[in-house]
A and B are shown apart, each in its own frame.
Chain A
């Protein structure tokens, strides 16, 4: 265990289903991230939350909806997904320091083991 726990580890869903991925960290970090990793493709940053506020949304389709109720938990709500959304979804966390120019911090992320999503 890395300190970042993702559930479920595997998920199979139909295109009309609604499901959620959950991420939990107990490292005292204040930034959390969702990444998507498809086969033979680079990791794609999807969303970033700093101090519970969403600071980045990298043109992710609205069928992916993040939620960060507190600095320890992050969700990714899924609805009406497409087969091409099948991938490994990785959650990560890090420590950010809030400065006047915006959050900054070491580029050291702790990743979870991922949720393997298959959309039929």
Chain B
């Protein structure tokens, strides 16, 4: 069973700052390493995902970095905005039984 450790549990950033969330995993059983974003009262939505043969992927202000040797991938949110305030998840488990931890609660202060 794939295990990931996500950190930090909560993060407070000033508007315009950089938000960084990390996930450490055990093996590369997945085809993609995704980040999900969830706003209160809504379902999680795929934010960005990276294949394990790619080291970095950027979509607008969001960048996902993959460090295969360190078995870690991270989410960077540049120029963080109050609208980015949400819970962010990197899922764990197998593709047959994907599980989500408590995630990282990001608060961007105006």
Chain A interface residues (CB < 8 Å from chain B): 2, 4, 33, 35, 41-43, 45, 48, 50, 55-56, 58, 88, 90, 92, 94, 96, 102-114, 116
A17 to chain B, nearest CB (A): 23
Are B41 and A50 in touch, CB under 8 angstroms?
no
Interface residues of B, dominant DSSP: loop
Closest A residue to B103 using CB positions: A42
Cα–Cα distance between A103 and B97 once the two chains are bound (Å):
11
The contact size tier of chain B is 20 to 34
B49 to chain A, nearest CB (A): 6
Interface residues of A, dominant DSSP: strand
User: Does B95 sit at the interface, judged by CB under 8 A?
Assistant: yes
User: Does B101 sit at the interface, judged by CB under 8 A?
Assistant: yes
List residues of chain B with CB within 8 A of the CB of A112: 43
Cα–Cα distance between A42 and B45 once the two chains are bound (Å):
15
Cα–Cα distance between A78 and B103 once the two chains are bound (Å):
28
